[in-house]
Chain A
Amino acid sequence: MNSGGEKMASLALRNLWRPRTLTDRRNDIATITFPASPVGLTPNEIVDQKPETINLIVEFGNEVRLVRFSVPGMSGRPWLSPTVLRAGRLLSLPYDWDREGAPPVDWTTIQTAMNALSQIMSHNSSLAQWTPTQQSGVQLDWHENGVDLEIAFEPGESEGYAVFSDRNQPDADWDGPLGDHMVALHELLRERLAS
């Protein structure tokens, strides 16, 4: 009897009715669940995910280059245009800009950084300051309101590495891959690193 009961239960599960749409009208229950975004945003906070492009003209020695950035939605993001300008300046650094044979800044690290910023910045966030890294990647810095935050994006790396310290709370320091700290970063850039 026991084995037969288990078989029945198994069959019942296999034949369990599953809704084909997000709303189960027949049983008057909503089965809608919002997919979690990487930064824990609610759908209302995601302004636009459709990629748009920003074209930037960069003078590189005797050359003039057109650099095209793909960014996920520009509306409602006042930080975006000045950020692209700051980032673009790094592309004008020539070979051996560090006097130790460094190649020009890797533009893919700028794109990776822009993608990350689009996930963690708020409309009132302070702008990042962009500088090159030793490996010709980019580093973003914020130093204000007792916070020291830097995020480095290196060539070949799929995500940045963040280092946070609080001058008033040394025990609160943390560091690690960006993906491990997206919620904390979004909160920082909305509340303490904001105007």
Chain B
Amino acid sequence: MSGRNDDPAGIPNETRLFRRIDPTKIVYDKDRKERRPTSQNFQNSRGETTMSIFAENVAVAHLETPADFLKGRWSSWYLVAVTAESMRKYEQKVYLDPDNQDPDDQHPSHAAVDGSKDSKLRPKLAAEYEWIVAPVNRYDPPE
């Protein structure tokens, strides 16, 4: 654990959290009738206890748009949203984390979802997704 505290004041429960989705980690869900991110998209970064996200309330305050999170090396990736509440209900801490970013990929809204995410929990986190920037073949079944 990072030792940081949950921050419901800075990131209230109703806040949407944007998460980049790897285009190689998308599958078709016959029940939802659309492609969806796999649970592997909801892992902590290697060697860390946190998963990077962007808090919509801070993004709006800084005039950031979803497209801003998908520039450069992320241009082929997609974006989903989950709410802060949906992460907290699984014992995850949510707080702003603007200092923990790559130099070439800086966003004021950068935040962290902090906590253990084991094989059993990841599918539950993934099931909370809402597409923000979806693949063009979103509704196409697999070949």
Contact = CB atoms under 8 A, between A and B. Distances in A.
Interface of A: 90, 93, 97-100, 127, 129, 131-134, 139, 141, 143-146, 148, 150, 152, 161, 163, 165, 167, 175
Interface of B: 22, 24-32, 36, 38-40, 43, 45-46, 73-74, 77, 119-120, 123, 127, 142
Nearest to A152: B119
Q: Which 6 A-B pairs have the closest CB atoms?
A: A144-B30, A143-B29, A129-B27, A141-B27, A175-B120, A131-B25
Nearest to A144: B30
A90 B120 CA distance: 24
Contacts, number: 62
Contacts of A161: 119
Contacts of A144: 29-31
B123 A134 contact: no
A175 B24 contact: no
A127 B141 CA distance: 12
Contact of A146 (B31, B43, B123): B31
B31 A143 contact: yes
A83 to B, nearest CB: 12
B45 A100 contact: yes
Given A100-B45, A148-B127, A143 B30 contact: yes
Contacts of B120: 163, 175
Contacts of A165: 123
A133 B45 CA distance: 12
A133 to B, nearest CB: 5
8 contacts: A99-B74, A100-B45, A132-B25, A134-B46, A143-B31, A163-B119, A165-B123, A175-B119
B22, B40, B73: residue with the most chain A Cβ atoms closer than 10 Å: B40
Contacts of A131: 24-27, 38, 40
